Structure 1
Amino acid sequence: MGKLAFYQATEDNVSEIKELTLKAYASIRDLGIHFAAATADDALVKKNINENICFYMKDEDATVATASIRMPWSPHHGPYEIPHIWWVAVDPQYKRKGYASKILDFVEQDYLAHQLHCPSVSLGTAKEHPWLADMYIKRGYQPVGEADLGKGHQTVYLEKLLLGTEYKKR
């Protein structure tokens, strides 16, 4: 790991975010899980950047990871009245180097907790994915709900406290 830097994406970053996302979500497509990001085109990436808060991470000159936050007032907000992380992707060329943790730490702590003072954050993943929910639970997320969004899988929602010490189930 070299020098890491975090940036908020603009429309100038559409092609690099799309390229990274499509590579990162190849295994999701192989599992038959229908996440919007898994088949992102330029229009969807541009929409994500314009309607949400999209960050990307560079290691030296390489774009290695991205994560977005859907805010409660955005057109495509999360299920609860708190920020909702989605579209987390790490270029598979750089997997197992801790980049997913680094970008999530930045989003959760540096941005949401310290800059915006958000008490908690949610995210959702496919219940059928073999390891994603467990990864988020190990990061301190707690399951808070499930929904069938008509995408061919069950979505499990998780929430993480960012400020405070007591978890309250919804």
Structure 2
Amino acid sequence: MSEIYRLATLEDAEELLDVTLRAYEPIRQLGIRFPAATANIELVQDNITNNDCYVLEKDGSIIATVTVAALEEVKEVTDLPFIWWFAVDPAYKGKGFGTKLLSWVEKNIIRDTLKAPAVTLATAERHPWLVPMYERKGYERFYEVDKEGEKIVFMRKILNPDLFSKYNQEKTDGSRPSHGLHA
């Protein structure tokens, strides 16, 4: 029962597409138009190539994924690292594997490698369980926007309180620290 946390490769694209589409089935049923909900192989390959797509592999199979993305469309809202495409294979839903992967990425990648004070994400307000789920994981709302008739909630989780306080002070002073993804 080995568990491996790693970056996805292009060889993982088909398996990632399968896991993602099965995980996002309830979102499609709700009519929420997240890119991952209707992904195709090209979109998955693009996500792997242009972002940091992490997977949790159990016994040789991908069971969860989350991406730390550099998305132009969120830069006017936040310069902090942004996560998206969080998905867990429905066969493993409710067993803590998604939480394990998300926590690993938050601590090992965003806090310790990127040295970012916090992480951000966005989700649809009308989704029945995502906002409360992220709140239970320590995320808080910090911004809302209407996008094509869909209320989108931006959420943030502080990973390093001292660094976050300094980050906020620098933003207040007018300087913009670089705590996003690095090329």
Length-normalised TM-score, structure 2? 0.84
Paired with 1:83 and 1:29, the residues of 2 have a C-alpha distance of 26
- Quickly say closer, same or farther: Cα 1:33–1:161, change in 2 above 3 A: same
SS at match of 1:115: coil
Q: Which runs of 5+ in 2 are unaligned?
A: 172-183
- Report the AA paired with residue 105 of structure 1: S
In structure 2, the partner of 1:148 is 146
Query: Offset of 1:70 from its aligned partner?
Result: 1.2
Q: Deviations over 1:66-106 (max 9, x none)?
A: 000113xx555553001101000000011111011011011
Q: Deviations over 1:125-164 (max 9, x none)?
A: 11000010111111111100111221x4211000011111
- Quickly say closer, same or farther: Cα 1:155–1:77, change in 2 above 3 A: closer
More displaced 10-residue stretch of structure 1: 22-31 or 158-167:
158-167
- Report the AA paired with residue 92 of structure 1: P
Paired with 2:156 and 2:53, the residues of 1 have a C-alpha distance of 19
How many pairs align?
A: 165
Paired with 2:69 and 2:87, the residues of 1 have a C-alpha distance of 15
Length-normalised TM-score, structure 1? 0.90
In structure 1, the partner of 2:5 is 6
1:160 lines up with 2:150 in the alignment? no
Instruction: Find the structure with the greater CA-based Rg.
Output: 2
In structure 1, the partner of 2:174 is none
Q: Which runs of 5+ in 1 are unaligned?
A: none
The answer as to whether partners of 1:51 and 1:75 remain within 8 angstroms in 2 is no
Q: Deviations over 1:20-44 (max 9, x none)?
A: 1000000110111111000000111
CA RMSD of aligned residues (A): 1.8
Query: Offset of 1:10 from its aligned partner?
Result: 1.7
In structure 1, the partner of 2:67 is 68
- Report sequence identity in percent: 37
SS at match of 2:84: strand
Which runs of structure 1 show a deviation greater than 6 angstroms over 4 or more consecutive aligned residues? Answer: none
Query: Offset of 1:3 from its aligned partner?
Result: 2.1
Paired with 2:60 and 2:50, the residues of 1 have a C-alpha distance of 26
- Select 1:106's aligned residue among 104, 107, 115: 104
Paired with 1:77 and 1:87, the residues of 2 have a C-alpha distance of 15
Paired with 2:50 and 2:151, the residues of 1 have a C-alpha distance of 25
